[in-house]
Each structure stands twice: as C-alpha cells, then as structure tokens.
Structure 1
C-alpha cells in the first residue's frame, strides 16, 4: 500500500485528507508540524509522496520542502497553498515541489494530482523484447531511464521526478520546438488544472542544475511566447 505523508497543522483538514486517501487505498501518515514530518520521514523512508501545507507553525512548508528534497530527491511533493498566493506557488516549485493545490480544494482534485504524480514516480521502463528502455545521449548528457539516473560529463545530477520527466521529453525530441502546453500535457497530464507558469519555474530550476551559465543557457533554448527547445550541446 502506497504511503503518503500529510503535513497539515489543522487537524480537521489533515483528517479530511487522510480519510479520502484511505478510501482510495492509500496509507496516509499524518504529521501536525514540519518538525514532526521530518522525524516521521527518518523512521518511514518508504513514503512515496508528501502533501505539505505552506502555513505551518514553526518550520513552514517551504523549509520542509527544501529539507525533504535534499534528503529524499526522488520523493514526490505536493504543496497546499492559499487562494491567490501566486508567490507561494512559485516559491514551492523553485524549492523542489512537483505540484501544488490551492485551498479550498476538492478531494477529487487532490487525488487526481497525486495519481498523476505517482505515475511519474514509477520506474519508466518499457518492454523491448528482453531489454529495458534504452539510454539517451545528448552532448555531455546521459540519461538512463531504467535506473532513473541523469549525468553530465559523467557526474550524476539529482533531479526531481518532474525534472527527470521534462528532460526525458526534451531528449526524446531534440531540437524540436515544444510549447509550454506540450510540456504540461506530457509531464503533468492533459487533465492537469494548473497554469503554464509551472513549466517555466521547473525549466529555471533545471537550468540551475545543468547549465554552465543559467543566465545564458545553451542546452535549453527559450522560444519567446511559445516554449522551449532542447539543444543538448550537440
């Protein structure tokens, strides 16, 4: 049974989320604070996804997100943000969150986001006879989907599940102009309710990890008013 960490200081909301997760066959693990969440993760490292409220007492959701991303880079994370707090969404994504849900939200929406994220967290292997999905090579980069590994100049670069999926999409479509909608639909799913800024924030974060000069990128080219193109240094 898939474990999902629910970090929310309001007991009514936390219980509401946990009950709905349990109804869908998940195993919710509750935490009322950021400090408690980190302690839980040290004891139960098989948790697949964390749902983090931004407004937590003491250690806030952003600090928890940063700490969890550093400690558990392959873990999925969904932030719960207040309605209209655009900066909260951007900051959460910049710190490593995979997605966000705006309060108030419906259980159906939250579950859809979790299910979409869990699909991305699965090991991306494809049956090719007896072989697993082939590696991708582009300039100084090598991606091994079966191992969920990404390298630049033989040095491994840690990526979140969303970042991994975005780069995989790029490397499968070298030098192709991909719109923000193309990226959003492929990586987040066609039923994703979020906005296109989610793509831009993730691209900025990827550039910080792979570009020699993120302010002057040469691997991921911006196409003004449209989207992005993967050059890969070829």
Structure 2
C-alpha cells in the first residue's frame, strides 16, 4: 500500500492512475495533517509527497515522518520547484524527488525501484541473524538498522545506511555518481546526481562529528567518491577480503 499526499486533485488522480496501471493500491489525502496521521496509523511501503500542500509544506511532513521512522521510503512528486526545494527535500530524508514535467513511465519505474528496495530490505532484515558488518571503526547491523562510528551511534536513513554500506564494502574504490545511483537507487539518469550529492553531504556531516581527524568519505574531483577508513586517525582497518566487509556474528 502506498500513501499519496497531494493537494492538487489533478496531480493526485494522475498518481493514482499510474499506480493502478502497475497494480499498486494507494490511499490518497489532500493535506499534510491527515497524511501524517494516516502514516502513524498503519504501515506503508512508500509515501509520496508534494512540496506544496493546502495546510502547509510537504517538506515539514517529510521531516516528521523521518523522525518517526528512519527506514520509511519517501518520494516527492511535485510541480516545478526550485533546486533549493529539491535539495532540501533530499537533505530532510526523501529517497527520491521527481518534478514536472515527467513522463508516466519514468514515474512508474521510480516507484517500482522504491518498492523493490523496500521489499529487499524487509527480506534481508528477516534473514539476518544477528550479523554485524565491520570496517575499522565502522559497525553496521542490518537487522537492527544500527550504525556505529568510533563507538558512537549515528542515526541514518534507509538510503544513507545503504549508501554507506555500499561504499564501505569497497574501501578505497572510486565510484562515479552514476554508479552510485544505479547501485543504491536502481537507476542512473543524467540530471539526478543531486540525490548522491545531498546524501553524501549528510553522511559526511554525521560521520565527521565523531571522527578524530579527516572523514572517511573522500571526493575524487572530476570522478566521484570513495570510502577511505585509513584516512581517519587511529583507524585500524580489519578486512577479511580486500573488497568485502568482514561479517562477524555477535556473541
């Protein structure tokens, strides 16, 4: 089930029709207050928000949802908005942002990507038996959605968690923005690199707060990003294989 929060009835109907075409049920509401209450009342595989709502701003609803649930997939579908709104939406925790004009097939494809990732995360969570992922001072527990850096817990959204895990599985390997979009979001369209930039900036801010020295996520100018735990002072990188995280089971 998908929750659609859209004030414009025409846009709301377009989203409903597109979801119906790909066999997805949805519940729709026209204002943020009722949308947030519906979110609290049941589980949704995806929440689709508009930036501009009759009773407020969808960005505020996004932030409130993220505060309650770090793993809830959130997608903005909005009329023409500024780059500032798009970036702010991603920084507040949205997993994707699609603005008009857009084609119906692209919308459907993006929704499928979000639902596929949500389903994969649910399956992985049910199959994980207390395993931890470690690279130096980084600890990721997929079952508990728990992240620790230099012994301090850091709160990550679902996409931040996945992005950090992907980079950490391949330490010192440089990835382009297109490669990260494909690996984490499931698509690699030109013009959506801001998704990566915003998530990388948020990850850096969270990690650097408790990093004694330089942060682990490095920019390779003109190319992309890499995870370099050895860049952090005192970091002892323990890798079972050069390109994989060490999997250890909690005692």
With the shorter chain as reference, the TM-score category is 0.7 to 0.9
Q: Which residue of 1 aligns with 2:195?
A: 198
Aligned to 1:79, the other structure's residue is in SS state: strand
Q: Which residue of 2 aligns with 1:40?
A: 38
Q: How does 1:60-139 map to 2 (within 5 A)?
A: 60-83=57-80, 85-121=82-118, 122-123=120-121, 125=124, 135-139=132-136
Count of aligned pairs: 227
Pair 195,61 (structure 1): closer, same or farther in 2 beyond 3 Å: same
Q: Which residue of 2 aligns with 1:26?
A: 24
Q: CA deviation at 1:56?
A: 1.0
Contact 1:81 1:89 in 2 (8 A): no
Q: Which residue of 1 aligns with 2:240?
A: none
Pair 193,116 (structure 1): closer, same or farther in 2 beyond 3 Å: farther
Q: CA deviation at 1:12?
A: 2.1
Q: CA deviation at 1:70?
A: 0.6
Aligned to 1:209, the other structure's residue is in SS state: helix
Contact 1:120 1:162 in 2 (8 A): no
Pair 193,178 (structure 1): closer, same or farther in 2 beyond 3 Å: closer
Q: Which residue of 2 aligns with 1:6?
A: 4
User: What is the rounded CA distance, in whole Å, between the counterparts of 2:22 and 2:6 in structure 1?
Assistant: 19
Q: CA deviation at 1:85?
A: 1.9
Pair 40,120 (structure 1): closer, same or farther in 2 beyond 3 Å: same
Instruction: Flag structure 2 segments of 5+ consecutive residues without an equivalent.
Output: 236-251
Instruction: Flag structure 1 segments of 5+ consecutive residues without an equivalent.
Output: none
Aligned to 1:113, the other structure's residue is in SS state: helix
Q: CA deviation at 1:11?
A: 1.4
Q: CA deviation at 1:72?
A: 1.6
Q: Which residue of 2 aligns with 1:209?
A: 206
Aligned to 1:135, the other structure's residue is in SS state: strand
Question: Rg larger in 1 or in 2?
Answer: 2
Aligned to 2:219, the other structure's residue is in SS state: strand
Contact 1:125 1:133 in 2 (8 A): no
User: What is the rounded CA distance, in whole Å, between the counterparts of 1:229 and 1:167 in structure 2?
Assistant: 10
User: What is the rounded CA distance, in whole Å, between the counterparts of 1:28 and 1:84 in structure 2?
Assistant: 24
Pair 198,18 (structure 1): closer, same or farther in 2 beyond 3 Å: same
RMSD, aligned α-carbons: 2.5
Contact 2:19 2:108 in 1 (8 A): yes
Pair 131,4 (structure 1): closer, same or farther in 2 beyond 3 Å: closer
- Cα deviation, 1:117-171, whole Å, max 9, x if unaligned, reads 2222222639xxx986963212221112344332234544332222122111111
Query: TM-score scaled to structure 2, two decimals?
Result: 0.81
Aligned to 2:161, the other structure's residue is in SS state: helix
